[in-house]
Structure 1
Amino acid sequence: MAPNPYSPHSMVHTALPPLPGSPAPGALSNLRILDIGTMVAGPVACTFLADFGAEVIKVEQPSGGDTLRGLGPFKNGESLWWCLEGRNKKSVTIDLRQKEGQDLLLSLVAKADAIVENFRPGTLESWNLGYDRLAEVNPRLVMLSVSGFGQSGPYAKRAGYDRMGLAFSGVMGITGYPDRPPVRLGISVADYSTATMGAFAVMMALYHRDRGGPGQHIDLSLYETMFRYTDSMVGSYSALGKRRARTGNVHQAAAPGDNFETRDGRFIVLTVSGDTLFRKLCAAIGQSALADEPRFATHSSRFENIEELNATVAQWMRSRDTADIREILDGAGVAYSVIYTVEDIVEDPHYNARENIIGVEHPVAGMVQMPGVVPKMSGTPAAQPAAAPTLGAHNDEILKGLLGLGDAEVDRLREAKVI
């Protein structure tokens, strides 16, 4: 039997040396991840891993690259969204539609721990790059496939994006006010939630592998992530026949609870569930007697009277400026938050103290402000992120340094538009 030209030398996991110029070592510095996806859910799972030291090699189409590069807002012609989600990655351009490009990817797969993709199901198989083929090259490979509706089932072939995940999961149907159409959240919450779960799934699979198990294929969809977050929605319907509806800012776990407007035109979020917290709130707003009324004795009874409670709190909020309300609620130990604008965020001392906003110098865009790395780890803190790469910035480094191709071969591949 002919030797497999892509086969790893050993089935025992050892740390893979990072390429020159990789970010400082972190908790995941022994991992090499291939990111062959586009946009958010798949690639951002890789960003989360890269933030903690994983060497992420982003494989992009030679013409244009990741779709995210073309989405604004822009600074000096560079997408600020890409500057965030491309950080800590290395970019190599390979046309996966060409046979030679597919061979290059297989060579990279042989040297990788995991690969992440979010093509429509069946696309990689049409290029002879499905999981079964990749596992032949590297049996220890972990593959994460992110899609709108999953790799199986009657809707698997459907295209799916963030809003489809919100709609099909039922989340959008219960978001908004009852007398208005459903609304989406202000961020791509299905994409980012799936990216988070995807990174978690990759680490579970790698942990299983490094305890002696084989690699495996992870099938994760946008709608399933969001459906998992719907808490007791299905249970309430199945057991009690209760159908959750849009209720605006009122929620069954908060009484009182709403977004209350202050005298100076700001909004404060308040959500009260426990009896002790309710007593603290009543005292803070000068309504201590409310806590002793039988109809407000439990959370269930308070929710039955939610409109009256919210009206009482709203009247108190409207009579005071935000600064005064914050001082009173802080003194009473009542949980709340002012609804922040981006101006509030960039000026807030807590964000500054926690280093939630960092600056990364980009070779084209210049200094770019972006969210810092979370979570914060005491033993293996994340390093200062490296700037998102320009398209194909690491072609020579990866093709010559990692795969060992010669100058003439790289030039030929470039001439043939394979890279």
Structure 2
Amino acid sequence: MYDLLKGLRVVEGSAFVAAPTCGLYLAQFGAEVIRFDNIGGGPDFRRWPLADNGSSLYWEGLNKGKKSIAIDLTRPAGREVAQRLAAAPGDDAGLFVTNFPVDGFLSYEVLKALRPDLVCVRVMGWADGSQGMDYTINSALGLPLMTGPADDPRPVNHVLAAWDLLTGAYCAFGLVSALLARTRTGQGREIRAPLSDIGAATMANLGFTAETLMTGRQRQRMGNDIFGAFGRDFATRDGRTLMLLAITPKQWSKALEALGLTSEVAALEAELGVTFATDEGLRFTHRARLYPLFERAFAQRTAAELAPAFDAGGVTWGAYQPLEAALEDPRLYKDNPVFEDVSHPSGLNYPAPGAMATIPQDRRGQVKPAPRLGQHTDEVLAEVLGMSAAEIGRLHDAGLVAGGDGR
């Protein structure tokens, strides 16, 4: 946790990955993020992976450091409470993150009537309002048909929800940008962030679309080869698999030195009439001739022999390892100051990350766990909406809100 956004109040009405990720990032930089959910939990409250007691590890991971209020969103009076929260007064409030539909009780027009300078960031599937989630957007973009072994035509879905995560980060950037503009002009606005547009624009930014327009077809599958450069997985004598990447001239020359391939590659260059040292594209073009040399060199050495040689030469490489091994890696988890042992709502204690960035000038604050569902219901109603204890009691009696104990 850092305090860069301390004093900001962000209300979040969301589910799944993209919008909660936006709220998570804002909370980790110091904003007060209040998430409202339906009583009993929204559609992501029991999402896998689950603890043995049925608690969602997914939900408590994406909602760290937030406050929780539980509201009956199926009834008009409960929806009014959510609307009032989103549009609550305050110079550093009126900031709303959601993936609820464009139209409906949380539409921008409805909320703007309550607070004209409201800033709303809205995650969408498709820009036309159609249903869309990460994996369906990904399939439409063609990426699963570019991923996987070259000799297998079946589509391969990536296990990482990349478009959700990119969208969540983009929404956090968009909200802070709109807030900065509001401080200058007093104007609120709605920012719509469809996964489809984030995905399509990213593909264009990376040159995928221009490449296809020029060639008339999308990029072919090539297994683990790195497109346009020299990079692939190689097996060592002791059965380990290492990833080697050589993009810059230095990376290339040091890799050749460490593997004892300088003279063999020079002979191949003379045969082909090319120089690999300064052109990564040539290494990619002639990779079918280069790979056998590298495969043989790797197969003659163990990972324990290669690792110090690679490190001494500044070679860019990495070992393939399962997550259980990564958890013991001091650079990733075990000794990483980003992580801290936390007691979670599930009753489990395990390391959880705070802000992913490190700010050397600022002290890193304590990682805060996710709340219990409805844990802050009474606090939020009193402090944000100014309700009296009697008013809050009547809402509980009517079943319109619930606390962390389910009442």
| TM-score under structure 1 length normalisation | 0.86
Structural mapping, 1:75-86, within 5 Å = 75-86=52-63
Counterparts of 1:260 and 1:254 in 2: how far apart (Å)?
15
- 1:262, 1:318 within 8 Å by CA — same for their partners in 2? yes
The 1:397–1:32 alpha-carbon spacing in structure 2 relative to 1, beyond 3 Å, is same
The 1:290–1:275 alpha-carbon spacing in structure 2 relative to 1, beyond 3 Å, is farther
Number of the residue aligned with 2:300: 319
- Alpha-carbon offset, residue 318 of structure 1: 2.2
Q: Look up the equivalent residue of 2:145 and give its one-letter code.
A: G
Q: Number of residues paired by the alignment?
A: 386
Structural mapping, 1:3-402, within 5 Å = 26-65=3-42, 67-108=44-85, 109-111=87-89, 112-119=93-100, 121-122=101-102, 125-127=103-105, 129-150=106-127, 152=128, 156-157=129-130, 159-180=131-152, 181-230=154-203, 231-241=206-216, 243-255=218-230, 257-292=231-266, 293=269, 294-297=273-276, 298-351=279-332, 352-402=334-384
The 1:73–1:263 alpha-carbon spacing in structure 2 relative to 1, beyond 3 Å, is farther
- 1:27, 1:380 within 8 Å by CA — same for their partners in 2? no
The 1:65–1:239 alpha-carbon spacing in structure 2 relative to 1, beyond 3 Å, is closer
Counterparts of 2:134 and 2:307 in 1: how far apart (Å)?
36
Note the alpha carbon deviations across 1:17-54, whole angstroms, 9 max, x for none. xxxxxxx7611112111110011111111001101111
Counterparts of 1:205 and 1:212 in 2: how far apart (Å)?
10
- 2:261, 2:293 within 8 Å by CA — same for their partners in 1? no
- 2:345, 2:370 within 8 Å by CA — same for their partners in 1? no
- Alpha-carbon offset, residue 171 of structure 1: 2.5
The 1:373–1:69 alpha-carbon spacing in structure 2 relative to 1, beyond 3 Å, is farther
- Alpha-carbon offset, residue 380 of structure 1: 4.1
Counterparts of 1:208 and 1:267 in 2: how far apart (Å)?
50
Note the alpha carbon deviations across 1:42-79, whole angstroms, 9 max, x for none. 11110011011110000000123451444322154422
Q: Look up the equivalent residue of 2:353 and give its one-letter code.
A: P
The 1:31–1:143 alpha-carbon spacing in structure 2 relative to 1, beyond 3 Å, is same
- 1:56, 1:90 within 8 Å by CA — same for their partners in 2? yes
Number of the residue aligned with 1:415: 397
Counterparts of 2:23 and 2:143 in 1: how far apart (Å)?
25
- 1:295, 1:302 within 8 Å by CA — same for their partners in 2? no
- 1:282, 1:288 within 8 Å by CA — same for their partners in 2? yes
| TM-score under structure 2 length normalisation | 0.88
SS at match of 2:185: coil
Calculate percent identity across the aligned residue pairs: 30
- 2:22, 2:169 within 8 Å by CA — same for their partners in 1? yes
SS at match of 1:284: helix
CA RMSD for the aligned pairs? Answer: 2.1
Q: Look up the equivalent residue of 2:176 and give its one-letter code.
A: M
- 1:165, 1:226 within 8 Å by CA — same for their partners in 2? yes
Counterparts of 1:42 and 1:162 in 2: how far apart (Å)?
12
- Alpha-carbon offset, residue 381 of structure 1: 4.7
Note the alpha carbon deviations across 1:103-148, whole angstroms, 9 max, x for none. 21232222333111113x34xx332x31012122222221111121
The 1:229–1:326 alpha-carbon spacing in structure 2 relative to 1, beyond 3 Å, is farther
Counterparts of 1:101 and 1:84 in 2: how far apart (Å)?
27
Q: Look up the equivalent residue of 1:185 and give its one-letter code.
A: H
- Alpha-carbon offset, residue 353 of structure 1: 4.1
- 1:144, 1:198 within 8 Å by CA — same for their partners in 2? yes
- 2:167, 2:198 within 8 Å by CA — same for their partners in 1? yes
- 2:134, 2:162 within 8 Å by CA — same for their partners in 1? yes
- 2:2, 2:355 within 8 Å by CA — same for their partners in 1? no
Unaligned runs of 5+ in 1: 1-23
Counterparts of 1:220 and 1:195 in 2: how far apart (Å)?
9
SS at match of 1:29: coil
- Alpha-carbon offset, residue 372 of structure 1: 3.9
SS at match of 1:67: coil
- 2:60, 2:345 within 8 Å by CA — same for their partners in 1? no
Q: Look up the equivalent residue of 2:212 and give its one-letter code.
A: Y
- Alpha-carbon offset, residue 213 of structure 1: 4.7
- 2:381, 2:387 within 8 Å by CA — same for their partners in 1? yes
